[in-house]
Amino acid sequence: MGISAERTPDAGALAEEIFNGLRTALEVFAVDVGVRRGLYRALAAHGPLTPRELSKTAAVHDRYAREWLEQQAVAGILTVSGPDTEGGHARRYELPAEHRRVLVDQEDPLYLATGPQFIVSIAGALPELLEAFGTGAGVPYERYGRGTREGIAGLNRPLYRPETVRSWVTALPDVHRRLADAPHGRVLDLGCGLGWSTIALARAFPAARLTGIDLDAASVEEARRNAREAGLGGRVSFARADAAGVRPDDPVDLVTVFEALHDMADPVGALAAVRGLLAPSGAVLVADEKVSEEFTAPGSELDRLNYAFSVLHCLPATRAEGARVEAGTVLRPDMVRAYAREAGYGAVEVLDIEHDLWRFYRITP
């Protein structure tokens, strides 16, 4: 029943996979340098550039500029042209238009430039994680720092387009009608992070009022700024609060939990709390990781990714909050059903929404 998939152990294959992983990890760190030093932006705006031109444009040392450019070209991220003279300083390097989508355009569906930042922040917390493995303690979310906060938000931001989130809510037709047609519909967005999901919902449903909730104070402050800059400050608000203790003024038509239920210290308590806030025929829309429905080893690529995130980030961050439930990143449908049942809900429906990474649920009292 899914416990094991047949694969003959092979030391050479494992050694090759780890070797390739080491190369990939180092290249990911080099991408992070390019993102955070503004090197890709400089190349996109002014390229093709020589190392000395990039040095002046991006305010970096020319020797580092040359080495980074050569490494990026060898990795296939940049293209290179021009004569091999002046010790390599005469070559010109360009960021192809298609690669700009991944590394520069923050709203492109293929944008992944903050992913390396997230990985680097996890690496920075490894000393505490190693200690936690011995003591059983957790690693507070704040310890992972700005890299995790902005890394997660940047990876998810392209997913939160108004037309995309509207299509998700369309899978709940009764809720969609109220938010689209009735004035002053209410939406509560739990685990909103930097607010991009809340902002997208506000744009998708111009008549609705929205409240984003997050436990991280720095995230809430950035979410407020993002909403102001989007011109939505009057219709969108944010609060730092535990999801299990939230109390909005009016009944809520829709509660959304996008990639956050598995990170909650008390998911049952949070679901129980919002159940009492729902308007008649209101519902909870959950999107969480699209992992296998049962444990299988070896696992799929998505399962491997999510288990790695769970070991290094999600589980230790949740344990640091004195978790009542410790799901980790690998949140399977049966676990969502169990949480909802314990929280007093009557129905959990897996929605027919196409998504590469997430599975969607409607939870109804």
- Yes or no: say if 328 and 305 are a contact pair by the CB < 8 Å rule: no
**Are 11-100 and 159-295+322-364 equal in CATH topology?**
no
Which pLDDT belongs to residue 181? 82
Its sign, for the CA torsion 226, 228, 230, 234, is positive
**86 has a pLDDT exceeding 80:** no
Q: How many Å is the Cα radius of gyration of the chain? A: 23
At residue 240, does pLDDT exceed 90? yes
Backbone angles phi, psi at 49, to 5 degrees: -130, 145
- pLDDT above 60 for 170: yes
Q: Which of 42-46, 324-328, 354-358 has the lowest mean pLDDT?
A: 324-328
Q: What are phi and psi of 278, to 5 degrees?
A: -70, 140
With respect to CATH, is domain 159-295+322-364 assigned 3.40.50.300? no
The CATH class for the domain spanning 11-100 reads mainly alpha
Contact of 176 with 256, CB cutoff 8 Å: no
Instruction: Please enumerate in sequence order all residues whose Cβ is within 8 A of that of 120, keeping only pairs 6 or more positions apart, or say none.
Output: 29, 32, 147
* pLDDT at residue 234 in the model: 84
Please report, for the chain, the start and end positions of each structural domain, with discontinuous segments joined by +: 11-100, 159-295+322-364
Instruction: Report how far residue 99's alpha carbon sits from residue 110's, in angstroms, rounded to the nearest whole number.
Output: 9
Nearest Cα neighbor of 345 from 278, 287, 252, 294 is 278
Length in residues, the chain:
365
What is residue 287's three-state secondary structure?
strand
- What is the arithmetic mean of pLDDT over 99-120? 95
pTM to 2 decimal places: 0.90
Contact 209, 184 (CB under 8 A): yes
Mean pLDDT of the residues in the chain = 93
Instruction: Please give the structure tokens belonging to residue 74.
Output: 């060898």
pLDDT tens track for 255-311 = 999 999 999 999 999 999 999 999 998 999 999 999 999 999 999 999 999 999 999
116 close to 150: Cβ distance less than 8 angstroms: no
* pLDDT classification of 6: cutoffs 50, 70, 90: low
259 CB-near residues (< 8 Å, 6+ apart) = 156, 191, 287, 288, 289, 358
Please, which pLDDT band fits residue 182 given cuts at 50, 70 and 90? confident
Would the pLDDT of 233 be above 70? Answer: yes
DSSP β-bridge partners for residue 188:
211, 255
Indicate the pLDDT class of residue 189, thresholds 50, 70 and 90: very high
pLDDT digits over 30-83, tens only?
A: 999 999 999 999 999 998 999 999 999 999 999 999 999 999 999 999 999 988
* Under 8 Å between Cβ of 104 and 41: yes
The confidence score (pLDDT) of residue 248 equals 63
